[in-house]
Structure 1
Amino acid sequence: MPIITLKLELQKPTKEKVKMYRKMTEMNTAFANWLLNFEGLKAATSKVFKLYSDKLFPSAIVNQTIREVQSKKRHQNTKKFLRFWCGFNNQNFKVEKENDLYKVSFPTCEKRIGVPIIVKSYQQKWLDELLSGEAKQGKAELYEKRRRWFVAITMSFEVKPQSGNQNLIMGVDVGLRQLAVASIGTTSMFFHGNETAYTRRRFASLRRKLGQAKKLQTIRKSKQKESQWMKDTNHKLSRQIINFAMENGVHLIRMEDLTGIRHSAKSRKEAGRNLHSWSHYQLQEFIQYKAGLAGIKVEYINPKRTSQMCKCGHADKRNRKQDAFCCRKCGYKSHADVNASINIAKAISGLSNKKSA
């Protein structure tokens, strides 16, 4: 069952409410850190808060914090929390709609309050499905980012499998010269990397100059800006790839398992840059996430020889030279990345152990 997270901004909270939200966050963070060293954490209930403090604090938040601290200590061996946002479950956090206006309600240190939220057009569909019961609400979290307050709500829902030819499989090959090539049989879609490579070189050049001027804070901001740009580009690429799959009735997408490829597949033109530096792994995650929403399955295959194998079965690293593929045995010619994406769709190297969806 796919899960999404909606991030909704609270509509201009008053100074008093902002002050209260921050006070709640401080109390919750201190309580979470206290729990990390509490010997009875495994069996703790909301009553344990009285051992920590005699102040009033919503039991709904206390219970959620206990569950999350138990999980983080068990699975992540967390030692300290710098900030622990207030969380709520689906029983004490509600989404409501009145006169075409959406709002959320949740308990605070003073009382339960209802707060109007800013809803973007694409978020309305999900909120309406939540209100109609078509989607199921999970946990919610109240957090601050750049002096603006948000709630993050997780939602799960059933997805109908993609209708169409059950034999249609799409292979997606990611790379440096072509950010991605998606192939369905003999039909392919290219996502060229020239423009993105130019933008990345501009960022790198700017940071070199800033480094010479020792402007470290500006360098950090530049890295954050490039990271956001990369994320936005990957979102757009993944959306186009999924649309291409849906238009052609694809029921399964296959991609290479890039685990362990971080220090390989380097670009000669841009020394030190590799597949991971463009965050192809992030692109694959976005494809898998959006495929799940569309009812399309995803599988990962072993990357061995997908770019060197010919359809006749002959594999030789000399078969490929940059963008050109020419089999040294049968003479078959193709674009190298198209050939690779077709081999990925066929899973010629076998399925990997990476979790599929």
Structure 2
Amino acid sequence: MPTITLRLELHKPTKAKQDMYERMTEVNTAFANWLLNHPELNQATSKLFKEFSSQRFPSAVVNQTIREVKAQKKKQKAKKFRTFWCCFNNQNVKVEKKGAFYTVSFPTLEKRIGVPVVARPYQEAWLNRLLDGTAKQGAAKLYKKRKKWCLAIAITFDVKPRHETKVMGVDLGLRYIAVASVGTKSWFFKGNQCAFVRRRYAALRRTLGKAKKLQMIRKIGRKESRWMKDQNHKISRQIVNVALANGVGVIRMEELTGIRKRATSAKEAGRSLHSWAFHQLQTMIAYKAEMAGIRVEWVNPTYTSQTCKCGHREKANRNGICFRCQRCGYTLHADLNGAINIAKAISGFAS
């Protein structure tokens, strides 16, 4: 079942409530760090909190924190959590609609009450699905972002798989953000604007760095990330829409390992895309496809850009954006050739 995360902003919480959420976060972070070094973490229950502190704290948060710390300790390299937000399981969070407003209730240091949330139109559609039972609510997390308190709720839902047999290959790269191929049809998504914006931000960071304006560097970094995320959303939506319009049942993409090392010239357009969130774009394509009932398959990227349709494989076959087979003379745009090979999964599927 596909899962999405709905990020809801709490509607104008009072100063008292904000202070309470801050206290909850501080206590929970301290408790999580205490748990990391506890010898009996694997057998821990909510009763263990009394060992840590005598203050009152929601057992629902304690239990979820214990589960989260257990899960993260195996892959946690740092010996300390900087911030450990309060989490709740699906039984401890309730979504309701009162008049025209949506409210979400969850355990706090005080009594449990419904908190109004800011729901945008697309979020309202998901909240309505939770209320009518066509989607299931998962765990939730209370966190603060840019001075605003939000609640992130996981939502799972059923999707009817598409029975179409057409396969789309999607090649992600530096000169073109994405090239998609379905049969004899192809679509190119250029990276020119992205390259220009990244170069502009890089130059601005260098200037600010010389002036020691670190706060401004962080600020424009966040702005750049938001812009890139928006671009990824738009491109991934276009790709999935094209797939739906052309009867695609499967989208294949290559596992992108080492894509940042592919640029060979400092002048090529892709140079400023080294920090492009390729993984983010793939993730967006994958979850949007999954929501539409399209299956996603991952292909081994080895030699997809060097192999001709005649089967001949040679590094010299590709020269920049040009592909020309050294044996049969077949020519094509190199990225399109890669997308076609990915659709055929010529190198096999990734394990």
TM-score of Structure 1 vs Structure 2, range by shorter chain: over 0.9
Deviates more, 1:32-41 or 1:139-148: 32-41
For residues 59-105 of structure 1, the C-alpha deviation after alignment (integer angstroms, 9 at most, x for no partner) is 11111111111212233255212221111111111011122321001
1:237 CA displacement = 0.7
Residue 126 of structure 1 corresponds to 126
Contact 2:175 2:270 in 1 (8 A): no
Q: Which residue in the other structure is 2:61 paired with? A: 61
What is the match of residue 140 of structure 2? 140
In the aligned structure 2, how far is the partner of 1:309 from the partner of 1:36?
Answer: 50
Matches within 5 A, 1:290-301: 290-301=288-299
Cα drift, residue 301 of structure 1: 1.6
Corresponding position of 1:49: 49
Query: For residues 1-357 of structure 1, what are the structure 2 equivalents within 5 Å?
Result: 1-76=1-76, 78-163=78-163, 165-166=164-165, 168-270=166-268, 273=271, 276-353=274-351
Give the alignment's TM-score, normalised by structure 2. 0.94
Residue 263 of structure 1 contacts residue 274 of structure 1 at CA under 8 Å; is this kept in 2?
A: no
Q: Distance in 2 between matches of 1:37 and 1:212?
A: 42
Distance in 2 between residues matched to 1:60 and 1:216, nearest whole Å: 40
Q: Please say if residues 87 and 139 of structure 1, whose CA atoms lie closer than 8 Å, have aligned partners that are also in contact.
A: yes
CA distance in 2, matches of 1:272, 1:291: 26
**1:234 is matched by which residue type in structure 2?**
N
Question: What residue ranges of structure 2 are gaps of 5+ in the alignment?
Answer: none
261-270 or 125-134, larger mean C-alpha shift: 261-270
- 2 CA distance for matches of 1:275 and 1:305? 22
Question: 1:45, 1:66 → 2: CA distance?
Answer: 7
| TM superposition shift of 1:304 | 2.2
Amino acid at match of 2:72: K
Looking at structure 2, the residues matched to 15 and 277 of structure 1 have their Cα atoms a distance apart, in angstroms, of 39
SS state at 2:302 partner: coil
Alpha-carbon distance in 1 for matches of 2:25, 2:207: 40
- Are the equivalent residues in 2 in contact too, given 1:170–1:252 (CA < 8 A)? yes
Amino acid at match of 1:181: V
> Any runs of at least 4 consecutive aligned residues in structure 1 with deviations exceeding 4 A, and if so which?
none
Question: What SS does the corresponding residue of 2:305 show, helix, strand or coil?
Answer: coil
Deviations 1:239-278 (A, max 9, x none): 1101111111111111111124443344441599376422
> Which digits, 9 at most, give the CA deviation of each residue in 1:282-322, with x for residues without a partner?
21121112111111111122222222222122223333333
- Secondary structure of 2:248 counterpart: coil
Q: What secondary structure sits across from 1:117 in the alignment? A: strand
**Shift, 1:336, TM fit:** 2.0
Distance 1:275 1:193, change over 3 A: closer
Q: Unaligned stretches of 5+ in structure 1?
A: none
Q: Distance in 2 between matches of 1:271 and 1:184?
A: 26
Render the CA deviation track for 1:182-241: whole Å, top value 9, x for unaligned: 010111111011121111111122222223333233223222222222121111111110
Judging changes above 3 Å, is the alpha-carbon distance between structure 1 residues 249 and 192 closer, same or farther for their aligned structure 2 residues? Answer: same
SS of the residue corresponding to residue 107 of structure 1 reads coil
CA RMSD of aligned residues (A): 1.9
Checking the alignment, whether the CA contact within 8 Å between 2:175 and 2:269 is kept in structure 1 is no
Please give the TM-score of this superposition, normalised by the length of structure 1: 0.92
CA–CA separation in structure 2 for the residues paired with 1:122 and 1:221? 28
Counterpart residue identity of residue 185, structure 1: G
Please give the alpha-carbon distance, in whole angstroms, between the structure 2 residues aligned to 1:267 and 1:130: 51
Give, in angstroms, the shift of residue 328 of structure 1. Answer: 3.1
Structure 1 pair 206–146 and aligned structure 2 pair: CA distance change class (3 A) = same
Letter paired with 1:105: S
How many angstroms does 1:117 deviate by? 0.5
Q: Determine if contact 1:175/1:275 at 8 Å carries over to the other structure.
A: no
Q: Aligned equivalents of 1:38 and 1:145: distance in 2? A: 30
User: Relative to structure 2, which stretch is displaced further, 184-193 or 328-337?
Assistant: 328-337
**3-state SS of 2:196 partner:** helix
Number of aligned residue pairs: 351
